[in-house]
A and B are shown apart, each in its own frame.
Chain A
Amino acid sequence: MNEDLFRVENLFISFGGLRAVDNVNFTVKKETIFSIIGPNGAGKTTIFNCINGLYNPDSGRVLFKGEDITGIKPHKVAMKGIARTFQNIELFSRMTTMENLMLGRHLHMKTGILSGATFFRRKSRAALEEIKHRERVEHIIDLLDLQYARNQFVGSLPYGTQKLIELGRALALEPELLLLDEPSAGMNTEEKQDLIFWIKDIQDELGVTILLIEHDMRMVMDISDRILAINFGKPIGEGAPEEIQNNPEVLQAYLGEDELTNAAS
């Protein structure tokens, strides 16, 4: 529980003259939920993209289980056991829910060109593997209550459902670290409640460490073990939820004066 799983050291990245991420440091302990908060454009998603290998940071290091994974390709990051979801849904819209989740099993499957192209019966190697992984994926579908969407093309499903499918797809990878980029955006209160339960379940029962970007403060304060607040790419405070709630700099930069009085009352 107290073991460090993941660490970002002195991360810098700039686009043109804009310093999108400016000296960000944080450490995530194993099986905890670590949240990053900050106003729009603060550089939260950019941090995710650096972790993920989509961006190559100008300087700094990303360490996962003590190993330097800075600047390696996205699929290699996935191989290390890091999965993510996206702020603007990045689903495979012309695949069904099942197929989307099955892609999450990509790294766990071994079917090659020849065995994949020539299966002809239930006992063929590719078919056996396909069946085995579909059964695994079914558990995730059950967990997230996605049965009704199972064989539908995801492009036509409601926004909240699509968000869940993304979560499911990330889970199908069986990650050790899960990056969630605003998972509750576009969800109603009820869906948010469910999501909170699921995220906690994922942490407790599956033992997945979670790095969360979220705007819903109730949710963040409710589930986070630790929170990092950033503004204009710079960290402005880090600590347990109570500490962040009472950090004047964070309150001023992020929550605003109104929220401050609300929180007090």
Chain B
Amino acid sequence: MKSAGPASVKAAMVLLFNERSAYRGEKNQDQEMDIKRDYYEDIQLLDSKVLWFWFLMLIAALITFPFVASNYYIYMANYMAINVLVTVGLNILVGYTGQISLGHAGFFAIGAFFTVLLMGKLSFPFLVALVISGILAALFGFILGLPALRLEGPYLAIATLGFGMAITQVIGRWELFGGRMGIQAPPLKLFGFYPITTDRGLYFIIVTITLLLTWAARNLMKTKIGRAFIAIRDSDIAAQTMGVNLTYYKTLAFAISAFYAGIAGGLMAFMLGFINPSSFNFILSIYFLAFVIVGGVGTIFGSIMGGMVMTWLILMLDKVQDLTYIGDILMTISERWMSVTGIHNVSSIILGLIIVLIVVFEPLGLYGFWIRTKIYWKAWPF
């Protein structure tokens, strides 16, 4: 009897233990399932409910914006979106692949003029004309990519600069493109029947295309092709020996980048309503490069910030005299000591100064500021 007690207890315990372990076993399995890494997370855009929430908020904000903002701000938003598109494209080339281009105004012009021509002369529907122009720009990008296989750094910069300037010259002298006078954008009809006449209508087209292409760029950079680009940037020797075809991927980077600029150019034509070759000069190419550097080299999010903030700055600095107090001082300085160009004197100087300061204090550009702020707030208040 003495042993019966403990024995039954033991039996009960065994039972309990077994039950528990069975329970635990299940649980363990579940945990193991959880522990098993989800590789999709590595490449997923929105990997949490919080992010989904913010994403939907953003979409909602983007949709309501043109109904609450004044025309000027809608115009500004369009301008921003177009510049974001160019910046994203240029960043694929400069930031991700480590090449340089001072000729992107050329691709921008190709996109703008061909979209207008295809629609005006050959009466192509808008979206078709836009895509064809983008592909045409990509083709020119591919051609420009060929010398890039042999050139590096400053040499490549000059070669691309020459290309961009040549494109503007060719367009400016060719009657087909309206010569020096430029060319009027035809009336815009979406899907062939839905007329777009206001900046608000244009806003939805431009922002949708920018969002889609930015998303596409981000995806591309997360998969095989993007990795090949980054590999070429970080070590082209290692990239080759791991099987990356340098010729193919370098020219591809140029082509994709030019495609983005071309699409942006096509949209720009309709935003401006009238395009002439002088607005696609090499200063514009340099601005594009500045957007990339200020936003952050090699980040899509940085490109978005760079394109938006710089556009905002450029537009704001045009009206710098409206600022209370400071505006008056700047006007006085400009009038007293500088040429008669007026406020442009001051705004260019300030823009230059801002670019220098951002690059000096944060080599990663606005993206670097963003990361630092994020880290700061994560640790706050400690």
Contacts and interface: CB of A to CB of B under 8 A. Distances in A.
A130 B241 contact: no
B233 to A, nearest CB: 8
Nearest to B228: A106
- The listed residue with most B CB atoms (<10 A of its CB), out of A93, A110, A112, A131, is A131
Contacts of B230: 92, 94-95, 99
B242 A106 contact: yes
Interface string B192-228: 0000000000000000000000001101101111111
Contact of B240 (A74, A93, A95, A104): A74
Given A86-B237, A113-B225, A116-B224, 13 more contacts: A52-B241, A75-B241, A91-B234, A91-B238, A92-B230, A92-B235, A93-B234, A95-B230, A116-B220, A116-B225, A127-B40, A130-B222, A134-B39
Interface of B: 37, 39-40, 42-43, 216-217, 219-220, 222-228, 230-231, 233-235, 237-246, 252, 256, 298
Interface string A116-153: 11110010001101110011001000000000000000
B16 to A, nearest CB: 37
17 contacts: A75-B241, A78-B242, A83-B242, A91-B235, A92-B233, A92-B235, A92-B239, A94-B298, A103-B228, A103-B231, A106-B227, A106-B244, A112-B225, A113-B220, A116-B226, A134-B39, A135-B39
A55 to B, nearest CB: 11
Contact of A104 (B220, B242, B246): B242
Given A103-B228, A116-B223, A90 B217 contact: no
A107 B243 contact: yes
A260 interface: no
Nearest to A48: B241
Contacts of A90: 235, 237-238
B223 A126 contact: yes
A130 B243 contact: no
Given A74-B241, A75-B244, A116-B219, A106 B224 contact: yes
**Shortest beta-carbon contacts, A-B, top 4:** A78-B243, A74-B240, A90-B238, A117-B216
A94 B235 CA distance: 10
B40 A122 contact: yes
Contacts of A99: 227, 230
A126 B219 contact: yes
Given A94-B234, A117-B216, A109 B224 contact: yes
A144 B239 CA distance: 21
A78 B231 CA distance: 15
Interface residues of A, number: 46
Contacts of A110: 224
B240 A54 contact: yes
Contacts of A73: 240, 245
- The listed residue with most A CB atoms (<10 A of its CB), out of B43, B223, B237, B245, is B223
Contacts of B240: 53-54, 73-75, 78
Contact of B243 (A98, A116, A131, A173): A173
Contacts of A173: 242-243
Contacts of B40: 122, 127, 130-131
B145 to A, nearest CB: 15
B239 A134 contact: no
A106 B243 contact: yes
Contacts of A130: 39-40, 42-43, 222-223
Contacts of A170: 242
Contacts of A157: none
A243 B239 CA distance: 38
B262 to A, nearest CB: 15
B256 A113 contact: yes
A170 B241 CA distance: 9
- The listed residue with most B CB atoms (<10 A of its CB), out of A95, A98, A127, is A127
A226 interface: no
A14 to B, nearest CB: 21
A50 interface: no
A147 to B, nearest CB: 10
B239 A103 contact: yes
Contacts of A93: 234-235
Nearest to A78: B243
A111 B243 contact: no
A118 B219 contact: yes
A61 interface: no
A58 to B, nearest CB: 21
Contacts of A135: 39
A69 interface: no
Nearest to A117: B216
